[in-house]
Each structure stands twice: as structure tokens, then as C-alpha cells.
């Protein structure tokens, strides 16, 4: 987009600015309006994400309320140390993504890229820990749904308790969908790091970084609720 393509509808803008900024699409009055619209759209999307997970939280609440002992028993087989470490990993990644926005607002390209790449590494670390947790469960026949067939000491007795399989189904579906969101987030953050490195963003325009950050924080918030409900109580 070049400056001379500014359509007639942006006349009012042209009185404020001498030129049409390259990032500003012609159907917006100003960069500020464009930024606010994008952000509102993102918040609406995040609400649909929250509602998606809330359905799973309701399923958890109903089954837990009906079978508190089975849930306590099944939950005690999850490794709370790994769960805690993963919580800290995700919280740190939220900090680094918040820092990346701080740095792009100050036009510090290099630190923005470093923050985004740190976030990417932390997200990868989260998935690696999750992988080991899943493998430890699969080894003992702890699968979601009908495949549930616990074997080995420390797990065999679960077969006799009704509604333990439901706990693990809910556990795998909740952490699984959360994990898919982490993978998508890694893709977005990697893309943002590459674009920031390429010099696409500045303090004048960094909307994609801002929106990716919002998405990543929601992924963190979902985990903030998943962790105590699945691992601790």
C-alpha cells in the first residue's frame, strides 16, 4: 500500500496526518480505531474460547460432585510436582510474552524477538513435561474412554472404583484440548518472532503481537484453573 492510494473517505485523516500509514486499512478512520476494533474482535474470540473450556469445567464439576471419592482417588495418581513445574513454566511464558509487547511498544526489535523466542522455548518445555506425564499414564493402561485398563502397582486398584475412568477421560480431554491450544500458540508466537525479526512491527503498529499475547494469556489462565482442579483437590 502506498500513500497515494488513500481513498476519499480518509480525507479527515489526511488533515491530521500528512501521509496514510502503510498499516492502516482504508475502512478505518484512524490507526487507533483499527487497533481498538482488532482488540475487541480478539476479546470476543477469547470469550468463545473461555466458553469452550467452561463446558469441560461444567462436566468436571458435575461428575466430581456426584463422585467425590473416585475423583480424589484418581486425582492422587497425577504428579503434582510436574503439574506445579508446568504451572511455573506457563506463568513465566506469560511474563515473557507481556515483556515482548513492552519492548515492541518501545521499538526495541531485538528484545521483542528474544522475548518471543523465550516464550516459544517455555511453551515447548510445557509440552515436553506434558508428554512425559501422558506417557507415565499410558504405561499403566490409563487411557481415556473405553480403553481405560489400569495395570501395575499403584494403578490396578483403580479398576475397582466406579467413575475413575470418567475422571481420566475428563483429564485427557481437558489437558488435550489445552495442549492443542499451546501448539497453536507456539505456531503464532514463532510467526510473530519471525515477523518481528523481519521488521514488520514498530511502536506505531504491533497489533498482531498484542493479539497473540492476549491469546497466550488465555491459554495460561485456562491452565491456572486446570492445575488445582485436576492435580490438587
Partner 1 sequence: MAHATDDHAAHGHHIIPIPTLLKVFGALVALTAITVGLSAFDFGMFEIPVALGLASAKATLVVMIFMALKYDNPVNMLTFSVGVLFVAVFLIFTLLDTAFRGDMDNVDRLTIEERERLNEQLQESDVDAEDLQVAPSDMQ
- Interface with partner 1 (CB under 8 A), residue from 27, 84, 121, 132: 84
Q: How far is CA 225 from CA 60, 142, 168, 232, in A?
A: 12, 23, 17, 11
**H/E segment holding residue 47:** helix 31-66
d(CA 1, CA 3): 7
The minimum distance between CB 129 and partner 1, in angstroms, equals: 15
47 binds partner 1 (CB under 8 A): yes
The minimum distance between CB 148 and partner 1, in angstroms, equals: 23
* Through-space distance between the first and last CA atoms of the chain, rounded to whole angstroms: 55
The minimum distance between CB 116 and partner 1, in angstroms, equals: 15
Nearest one of 102, 78, 110, 94 to 199, comparing CA atoms:
110
- Interface with partner 1 (CB under 8 A), residue from 74, 78, 99, 117: 99
Sign of CA dihedral 143, 164, 223, 59: positive
Instruction: List residues near partner 1 by CB under 8 A.
Output: 31-32, 35-36, 39-40, 43-44, 46-47, 50-51, 54-55, 57-58, 61-62, 65-66, 80, 84, 87-88, 91-92, 94-95, 97-99, 102, 105-108, 203-204, 206, 213-214, 217, 220-221, 224-225, 227-229, 232-233
Amino acid at each position: 500500500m502506498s500513500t497515494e492510494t488513500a481513498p476519499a473517505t480518509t480525507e479527515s485523516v489526511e488533515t491530521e496526518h500528512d501521509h496514510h500509514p502503510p498499516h492502516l486499512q482504508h475502512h478505518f478512520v484512524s490507526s487507533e480505531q483499527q487497533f481498538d476494533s482488532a482488540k475487541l474482535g480478539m476479546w470476543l474470540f477469547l470469550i468463545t474460547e473461555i466458553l469452550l473450556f467452561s463446558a469441560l469445567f461444567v462436566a468436571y464439576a458435575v461428575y466430581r460432585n456426584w463422585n467425590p471419592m473416585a475423583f480424589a482417588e484418581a486425582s492422587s495418581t497425577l504428579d503434582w510436582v510436574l503439574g506445579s513445574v508446568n504451572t511455573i513454566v506457563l506463568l513465566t511464558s506469560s511474563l515473557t510474552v507481556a515483556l515482548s509487547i513492552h519492548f515492541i511498544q518501545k521499538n526495541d526489535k531485538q528484545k521483542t524477538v528474544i522475548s518471543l523466542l523465550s516464550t516459544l522455548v517455555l511453551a515447548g518445555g510445557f509440552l515436553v513435561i506434558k508428554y512425559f506425564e501422558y506417557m507415565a499414564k499410558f504405561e499403566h493402561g490409563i487411557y481415556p474412554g473405553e480403553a481405560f485398563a489400569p495395570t501395575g502397582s499403584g494403578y490396578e486398584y483403580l479398576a475397582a472404583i466406579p467413575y475413575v475412568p470418567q475422571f481420566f477421560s475428563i483429564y485427557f480431554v481437558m489437558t488435550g484440548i489445552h495442549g492443542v491450544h499451546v501448539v497453536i500458540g507456539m505456531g503464532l508466537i514463532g510467526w510473530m518472532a519471525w515477523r518481528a525479526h523481519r521488521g514488520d512491527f514498530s511502536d506505531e503498529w504491533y497489533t498482531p503481537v498484542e493479539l497473540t499475547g492476549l491469546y497466550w494469556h488465555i491459554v495460561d489462565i485456562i491452565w491456572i484453573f486446570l492445575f488445582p482442579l485436576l492435580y490438587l483437590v
